[in-house]
Amino acid sequence: MTKILLVEDELALRETLEEILELNNFEVSVAESGEEALESLQNSAPDLIVSDIMMPGITGLELIAKVHQQAQFKQIPFIFLSALASKEDQNKGIIAGAKGYITKPFKASELLALIRELLG
């Protein structure tokens, strides 16, 4: 089963996303913060990471940099799911190494299509 690490600090959205992903046959591990996500990576490497950008502590942009600094995690596809909707913000995410950037509010079908595309 494909493993997805979901990094989202907002409880309601995190629970909704977890449910959507599990209903679509993904194994989901969740993290409330960038720090928690880094700890989770040490236990089990996911096939893909979906992360918010604006979080307390380590932001999503800092998280992707830390993840990609580690050789064993460098190839994990990363999707940003963020309320930061400007083209400049989206470009920052892609330049940081994200394979996709979806703005909130979003459609579940859009997220699922991108995940499936990135995972082949």
Mean pLDDT (the chain, rounded): 97
**Domains in the chain, please, with CATH?**
3-119 (3.40.50.2300)
Across the range 49-74, mean pLDDT stands at 97
Structure tokens at 111: 């997220």
In this prediction, residue 36 carries a pLDDT of 97
Q: How many CA atoms lie within 13 A of 14 on its CB side?
A: 15
Q: What is the dihedral of CA 46, 91, 20, 44, to 10 degrees?
A: 10
Amino acid at 92: K
Across the range 77-92, mean pLDDT stands at 97
Contact between 98 and 65 (Cβ < 8 Å)? no
Q: Give the pTM.
A: 0.97
pLDDT band at 119; cut points 50, 70, 90:
very high
Across the range 55-63, mean pLDDT stands at 97
